[in-house]
Chains A and B, each alone.
Chain A
Amino acid sequence: EVQLLESGGDLVQPGGSLRLSCAASGFTFSNYAMSWVRQAPGMGLEWVSAIDGSGGSTYHADSVKGRFTISRDNSKNTLYLQMNSLRVDDTAVYYCARGSAAGRPYYFQNWGQGTLVTVSS
């Protein structure tokens, strides 16, 4: 059974940093692209960042480019999101999602339960 378990969400001040993790199990991690998708309170879904199966290619939404970095450790079956220069509008539940393939195009086949990031002074 595919399992994705996010962690690392917290309350942080504007301008601060946070690193999210997503521990994966139940599948061969390196065979699948992974993404982070966020959802602000009461709002819809927003794709944030993506990384291919090997980790060689990464992509970020314009709203986080230059501030967030996605990475993965295939030896630890873990996905990361390093978030710097956090802003109030980064407040959201952050979901880890498994792609349907190692590289594009892929839909989001499995989702974690999410971790809450709150940016506030």
Chain B
Amino acid sequence: EIVLTQSPGTLSLSPGERATLSCRASQTISTNYLAWYQQKPGQAPRLLIYGASNRATGVPDRFSGSGSGTDFTLTISRLEPEDFAVYYCQEYGTSRTFGQGTKVEIK
């Protein structure tokens, strides 16, 4: 089973700043089968990125995904108030496992 480790656990930033979230896999993820989800308190998760770098429908272009192999990154170029949330990465090629999440909080 592929284990995903997200870092940092919590990111404290101000609106307008850039957020960089990391997701590292215990083994190579084939064909970049890596997705990112956003979850706000009391809400269901929402798909942001699939295939490591493809934005889902309706996702603002300030969100971008990159990486390959075992190292992946979600970048939010300029944080908006509605972006403060928890973000999860997921490998969906073999084990469907999720990372433990990164909380982006207001500084």
Contacts and interface: CB of A to CB of B under 8 A. Distances in A.
Interface of A: 35, 37, 44-47, 50, 95, 100, 104-114
Going nearest first, the 4 A-B pairs with the smallest beta carbon separation are: A111-B44, A107-B35, A47-B96, A45-B98
Given A108-B35, A111-B46, A113-B44, 13 more contacts: A35-B96, A44-B88, A44-B98, A45-B101, A47-B98, A95-B44, A105-B31, A107-B35, A107-B92, A109-B47, A109-B56, A110-B47, A111-B47
Contacts of B45: 37, 45, 95, 108, 111
Contacts of A100: 50
Interface of B: 31, 33, 35, 37, 39, 43-47, 50, 56, 88, 90, 92-93, 96-101
Contacts, number: 51
Contacts of B44: 95, 111-114
Interface residue SS majority, chain A: strand
Contacts of B39: 45
